Amino acid sequence: MSTQAKRYRIGYALVPKKVQSFIQPSLINLASRHNIDLIAIDPSKSLIEQGSFDCVIHKLYSSDWKLQLERFSLENPNVPIIDSPDSIERLHNRISMLEVVRRLNISKRSEVLDVPKQVVVLDSENLKGNGVIGELRFPILAKPLVADGSAKSHEMYQIFDSEGLKRLDAPIILQDFVNHGGVIFKVYVAGDYVQCVKRKSLPDISQEKLATLKGSLPFSLISNLTVPEKNEGFDIVVDLEKVEMPPLGFVEEVAKAMRQETGLNLFNFDVVRDAKDGNRAEKCLLETLKMETSKAI
């Protein structure tokens, strides 16, 4: 007598934009063929009363939702929640985000993992002079302190001089800009599964070009510069096909160490190579990804 394979109920709680992007018919059909039913969770209703789940995957961060998950976990201690709100919360602050990387235990090898130098500015008055940047040197990157996925958390700028600092509002983080060949390596992690892909990034800036650049530019504007004669001095010609990927063993080791340090199972991080040293992974930024791993899988 044949026994019917168990079907698994995976509940997902995502903002509508993420649902439209990732919960496609192809994904639903693929999951179904593997005995997985993807069930939409309504965060406005009691999670406990929405049926039994074998796993809950979410990308919501409100205090009400956190309380919902806590109650659900008490009632269903054996059901995995991916990921824990407490583990995710530390990644909503770019200071604690980079501290994660500093604590990683990576074996000695030819590749070196590091984080950019940075200065935290809590008072906008301090942005009126060069003194705030400390050891940093222009150009620098300006990023909001909070990294919660909101539109404001994505308002980032490349700053070329002290005048560019004056348009910023604190709290904010100023970071070294590292020439990295205009390429960023995005690493997607889903449990033990790791995939690294190449994407175009901010273009390199030579010292000669830097002398001609003034004020600041938002990341979005820099990313949209596609015509060489209109690039305002940026070197934007990048052939991704010719860019060598970081060694897979190195990427997997970093991903494993991040899982152990953060307690997360579904996330991504970015790595860039310092253009001055082709083997150096000069900057590594970690942020929550959740269902966005479907971009790589």
Residues 133-192: tens digit of each pLDDT: 888 999 999 999 887 777 787 889 999 999 999 989 999 999 989 888 889 899 999 999
Lowest-confidence pick of 29-43, 155-169, 236-250: 236-250
Is 185 marked as a binding-site residue? yes
């889903």: which residue's tokens? 190
Q: What is the 3-state secondary structure (H, E, C) of 34-70?
A: CCEEEEECCCCCCCHHHCCCCEEEECCCCHHHHHHHH
Q: Identify the pLDDT of residue 221.
A: 64
By three-state DSSP, how is residue 86 classified? helix
- Residue 191 is labelled as binding a ligand: no
Residue 92 assigned ligand-binding role: no
**What's the pLDDT band for 227 if we cut at 50, 70, 90?**
very low
Cis before residue 171, ω within 30 degrees of 0?
Answer: yes
Pairing outcome for strands 140-144 and 157-159: antiparallel
Would you call 89 helix, strand, or coil by DSSP?
A: helix
Beta carbons within 10 angstroms of residue 159's beta carbon: 25
> What number is the average pLDDT over the span 70-90?
92
Total Cβ atoms within 10 A of residue 282: 20
178 annotated ligand binder: yes
Structure confidence at residue 134 (pLDDT): 86
Residue 59 assigned as binding residue: yes
The pLDDT of residue 255 is 92
Q: Is 134 annotated as a binding residue?
A: no
Q: 156-165, 183-192, 277-286, 287-296: which has the minimum mean pLDDT?
A: 287-296
175 is in an annotated binding site: yes
The closest alpha carbon to 119, from 129, 109, 111, 110, belongs to 129
The reply, when asked if residue 53 is annotated as ligand binding, is no
Tell me which residue of 118, 155, 124, 172 sits closest to 140, measured CA to CA: 118
Residue 143, annotated as binding a ligand:
yes
Q: Is 86's pLDDT higher than 70?
A: yes
pLDDT band at 57 (very low <50, low <70, confident <90, very high): very high
**pTM of the shown model:** 0.84
Stronger pLDDT, 72 or 155, i.e. the higher one: 72
Whether residue 19 is predicted with pLDDT greater than 50 in this model: the reply is yes
What residue ranges define each of the domains in the chain, with the CATH number in brackets? 8-82 (3.40.50.11370), 94-227+237-291 (3.30.470.20)
pLDDT for residue 68 is more than 90: yes
Q: What's the pLDDT band for 230 if we cut at 50, 70, 90?
A: very low
Residues 6+ apart with CB under 8 A from 251: 185, 187, 194, 196, 271
| pLDDT of res. 231 | 47
Q: What is the pLDDT of residue 190?
A: 92
Is 215 within any annotated ligand binding site? no
- Cα-Cα-Cα-Cα torsion 277, 110, 199, 237, nearest 10 degrees, comes to 30
34 is in an annotated binding site: no
Q: Does 19 carry a binding-site annotation?
A: no
Q: Where are the alpha helices (DSSP H) in 76-210?
A: 85-89, 94-102, 162-165, 207-210
Q: Give residue 102's pLDDT.
A: 77
